[in-house]
Amino acid sequence: MEDYLQSALEIVKAQASARPMTETEIVSMVKSLADGIAAIGSGQATLSDAADAAPAMDPKKAIKESSVTCLECGKAFKVITAKHLAHHDLTPDAYKSKYGYKKTQALAAKSLVRTRRAKMKDMKLWERRVKKTAE
């Protein structure tokens, strides 16, 4: 058995021991891994390079009512924090410019942004600041 096929079988075996997998999943995973390892070994470009360049989903649809999806990894959050973006070697500004968001766009779910905005309007901090400076 060739080395790349043996490596693919070991990887799939480890994955199958970690979570339940159907026979179809196992076969397709072995095939795709073996093809990928063989392509890397021969120096050819792989399909995953093209997939890494494309975002996980459309940036316009990433910010939803109850969640926001990270376009780098595809995980859903209430807020995409700077700490999470650091895992992708990005800053919030770099992330926004990479995916075409405005600099003022909040990386948070729409409902959370709306709640925060209403709370700040109720607090009327700008009025308190004017009263303190007048006294």
- Range scoring the smallest mean pLDDT among 6-20, 66-80, 121-135: 121-135
pLDDT at 53: 55
Are 78 and 112 contacting, i.e. CB atoms less than 8 angstroms apart? Answer: yes
Residue range 39-67: average pLDDT? 71
In the chain, CATH 1.10.10.1550 covers: 55-116
Residue range 34-44: average pLDDT? 78
Residue from 49, 27, 55 nearest 36 by CA: 49
Global confidence as pTM: 0.54
**For tokens 């308190």, what's the residue?**
128
45 pLDDT band (50/70/90 cuts)?
low
Q: Which CATH class is domain 55-116?
A: mainly alpha
pLDDT in tens, 54-110: 566 788 889 999 999 999 888 899 999 999 999 999 999 999 999 999 999 999 999
CB-based burial, 43-78: b 16+ in 10 Å, e otherwise: eeeeeeeeeeeebeeebeebbeeebbbbbbeeeeee
